[in-house]
């Protein structure tokens, strides 16, 4: 599959060298939140804690996959982040955003952020076998249990943030983080958390009849009234396909039928025929709400197709080829080598002015998964 080899070559030769050389702030520490289209850091942007954690994941995952030894930078990144974002105000938990100089900009405790802190710690432990990272993970989990657990199940969105609907998305990434921690340790307590989050997905987020994942809910997890209650995202469905494959691989729980249903729905109704990319948002009855696209959605399509290939899905290889070709055309080949056009509109036109660092987490996840798919073809 020529497009697979081209994508991996782009990743090794252009993408990883670009972001690992220009993404770190050598003067103040931490990772920049974006580069411009010439590869210059956008140094004035606030530092989102979730993005810092994602970069620790990237460095650790690349190390574990044999793409290089990035443990020193990964540990330095985690140290920098811990010193500035963990309890800097004396209150438990991790803050939400930092100023470019590393001082606290926003002290909200956000569930989505904490999920990525846990993912970073799990992958960093896997790469280094340093048990202090598990200690940090356990302290973070204790905070979530004590301060953010919801009586209705799962966790609240934030402490100190704007009120809003309950969301499946941060719980999805919490599930991802627990997969990483369980994969690295096989600890029974991590397995119990995994199973509880899977039950939340299967019982609440998954709409089996429609073959989609619902996004927004009331505080008691009942379906949200109004149009937002019917929203779903093909990109998130693809993320769940890959996560379900990992859960199956690690635990033996049979998830293929659910993953198959989600993948088939995303492929049959989730693609914009004008651009060939996944739509940003739809309704559960397949009406397009937002026909624009972001690069991360296509990388999750790659991971989902790779997972379905391992399960022997007949159309998966063709779907992977389809995604690789259109993604490289629309998102990964029209800017600085190694960079991306993060957003395009429903007509395929560029709709962004910078390259967000947050996308690298998705890109590296896709590169490593596609690499494995290529080895097993």
Q: In the prediction, which pLDDT does 335 show? A: 84
Domain count, the chain: 1
Side-chain-facing half-sphere of 296: CA atoms under 13 Å: 14
Intra-chain end-to-end CA distance of the chain, in Å = 9
The 10s digit of each residue's pLDDT in 348-369 is: 999 999 999 999 999 999 999 9
Q: What is the mean pLDDT of the chain?
A: 96
For residue 374, what pLDDT band results from cuts at 50, 70 and 90? confident
Q: Specify the pTM.
A: 0.97
Confidence check: pLDDT of 282 > 80: yes
**Which ranges of 36-70 would DSSP assign to H, the alpha helix?**
49-64
Q: In the prediction, which pLDDT does 377 show? A: 67
Contact (CB, 8 A) for 32 and 360: no
Confidence check: pLDDT of 333 > 90: no
For residue 232, what is the domain's CATH number?
Answer: 1.50.10.10
**Which ranges of 252-315 would DSSP assign to H, the alpha helix?**
256-269, 295-310
Q: In the prediction, which pLDDT does 1 show? A: 81
Q: For the chain, what percent of residues have pLDDT higher than 70?
A: 100
Q: In the prediction, which pLDDT does 203 show? A: 96
Angle, CA of 143, 149 and 150, to the nearest 5°: 165
Q: Which domain holds residue 354?
A: 2-376
Average pLDDT over residues 209-235: 95
The 10s digit of each residue's pLDDT in 16-36 is: 999 999 999 999 999 999 999
Confidence check: pLDDT of 192 > 70: yes
Q: In the prediction, which pLDDT does 97 show? A: 98
Beta strands in the chain (DSSP E): 34-35, 47-48, 97-98, 104-106, 109-110, 158-159, 166-167, 206-207, 212-213, 216-217, 231-232, 281-283, 288-290, 293-294, 343-344, 355-356
Neighbour-count burial for 174-188, b at 16+ CB within 10 Å, e otherwise:
bbbbbbbbbbbbeee
Evaluate the CA torsion angle 219, 221, 227, 228 in order and state its sign: positive
Compute the distance between CA of residue 372 and CA of residue 247 in angstroms, rounded to an integer: 17
Q: In the prediction, which pLDDT does 334 show? A: 75
Compute the distance between CA of residue 87 and CA of residue 125 in angstroms, rounded to an integer: 21
Q: φ, ψ for residue 212 (rounded to 5)? A: -135, 170
Q: In the prediction, which pLDDT does 376 show? A: 75
Task: Please list, in sequence order, all residues whose beta carbon lies within 8 angstroms of the beta carbon of residue 328, skipping any fewer than 6 positions away.
Answer: 3, 6, 7, 10
The 10s digit of each residue's pLDDT in 155-164 is: 999 999 998 8
Compute the distance between CA of residue 191 and CA of residue 146 in angstroms, rounded to an integer: 19
Confidence check: pLDDT of 294 > 70: yes
């Amino acid at each position: 599959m020529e497009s697979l080899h081209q994508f991996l070559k782009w990743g090794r030769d252009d993408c990883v060298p670009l972001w690992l050389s220009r993404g770190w702030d050598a003067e103040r520490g931490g990772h920049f939140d974006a580069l411009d289209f010439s590869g210059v850091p956008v140094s004035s942007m606030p530092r989102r804690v979730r993005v810092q954690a994602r970069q620790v994941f990237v460095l650790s995952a690349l190390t574990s996959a044999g793409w290089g030894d990035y443990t020193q930078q990964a540990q330095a990144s985690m140290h920098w982040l811990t010193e500035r974002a963990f309890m800097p105000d004396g209150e438990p938990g991790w803050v939400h955003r930092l100023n470019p100089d590393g001082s606290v900009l926003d002290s909200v405790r956000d569930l989505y952020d904490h999920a990525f802190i846990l993912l970073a710690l799990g992958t960093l432990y896997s790469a280094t076998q340093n048990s202090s990272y598990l200690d940090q993970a356990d302290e973070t989990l204790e905070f979530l249990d004590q301060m953010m657990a919801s009586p209705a199940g799962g966790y609240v969105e934030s402490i100190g943030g704007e009120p809003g609907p309950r969301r499946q998305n941060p719980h999805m990434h919490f599930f991802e983080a627990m997969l990483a921690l369980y994969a690295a340790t096989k600890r029974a307590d991590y397995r119990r958390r995994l199973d509880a989050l899977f039950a939340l997905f299967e019982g609440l987020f998954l709409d089996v009849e429609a073959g989609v994942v619902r996004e927004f809910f009331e505080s008691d997890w009942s379906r949200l009234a109004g149009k937002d209650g019917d929203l779903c995202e093909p990109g998130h469905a693809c993320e769940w396909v890959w996560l379900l494959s990992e859960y199956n691989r690690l635990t033996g729980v049979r998830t293929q039928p659910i993953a198959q249903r989600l993948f088939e729905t995303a492929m049959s109704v989730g693609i914009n025929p004008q651009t060939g990319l996944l739509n940003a948002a739809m309704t559960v009855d397949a009406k397009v709400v937002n026909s624009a696209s972001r690069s991360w959605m296509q990388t999750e399509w790659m991971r989902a197709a790779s997972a379905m290939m391992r399960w022997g899905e007949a159309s998966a290889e063709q779907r992977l080829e389809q995604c690789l070709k259109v993604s490289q055309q629309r998102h990964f080949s029209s800017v600085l080598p190694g960079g991306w056009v993060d957003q395009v509109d429903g007509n395929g036109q560029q709709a962004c002015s910078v390259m967000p660092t947050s996308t690298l987490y998705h890109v590296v996840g896709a590169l490593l998964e596609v690499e494995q798919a290529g080895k097993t073809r």
